Structure 1
Amino acid sequence: MEWAGPEAGNNLDEYTDTVTSFISFCEEVCVPVRTRKIYNNDKPWFTAQLRRLRSEKEEARRSGDKDRFKEAKYRFAKAAKEANTASQRNCSSSSLGNPASVWKGLKTITNYKPKSPQTSDNLFSGK
């Protein structure tokens, strides 16, 4: 469909809708979609391996096999403790004797974003 303009009787809204729909269709076909759950209390050291071990532990619990559950629980707890310890060691060694990196880490943890400074023009113009 070629758009010849309003003088030829074509509706610009219909043409725009057609083109937009085609672009959306191409986007759905070409761009892969991934869904990832993100929780507010996700820890940076909680890796994909730990998620896999946790799901194995939950699966073993649901199956009712006590020995399998006990083993999966042990493997998960051990891996979680190692990951947490490694993360703490990395964090403390990187900021040792460097106050700037400590403050940077605190800003990252708290998600602190400073307000943009206002110029004197903005203060007086009411923007």
Structure 2
Amino acid sequence: MQDCFQRTDWEVFDHQDLENHTSVVLDYIRFCTDNVTRDRCIRIYPNRKPWMTEEVQSLLTARNTGFRSGDKVLYSAAKANLKRGIREAKVAYRRKIEDPHQE
């Protein structure tokens, strides 16, 4: 935004008519905002947590497979990996939400 304001010709905003002045200022703010920001379409399903990624989904499938197999060692390792994966996914999601410009 600062770069947009530095290149501004401020004489454009000199109007006697309040209606015209307001219109010009609001249009310019909208123009600067459109140049700086971008629109994103985010699809959220009501039955899915926002931090649930494909990696967490695969870890969940591995845990379920380990449970069904009856192998306690495999199930225990898969459960630990799932717990670690969920923790990492939540941290990554929190970072993404707190700083949306970082990607």
TM-score by length of 1: 0.41
Greater CA radius of gyration, 1 or 2? 1
* Structure 1 consecutive aligned stretches of length 4 or more whose deviation exceeds 4 Å: none
Alignment correspondent of 2:95: 89
Q: For residue 66 of structure 1, what is the aligned residue in structure 2?
A: 72
Other-structure match for 2:46 = 40
CA distance in 2, matches of 1:50, 1:78: 9
Aligned length: 58
Partner Cα separation in structure 2 for residue 43 and residue 67 of structure 1: 28
CA distance in structure 2 between the aligned counterparts of 1:49 and 1:76, rounded to whole angstroms: 9
Q: SS where residue 99 of structure 2 aligns?
A: helix
Identity %: 33
SS for the counterpart of 1:46 is coil
Please, which of 56, 69, 77 is the counterpart of residue 83 of structure 2? 77
Structure 1, residues 50-90: CA drift from partner, whole Å, max 9, x if none? 11110110010011111100000011110111011111122
What's the counterpart of residue 53 of structure 1? 59
Q: How large is the Cα RMSD of the aligned pairs?
A: 2.0
Structure 2 unaligned spans of 5+: 1-43
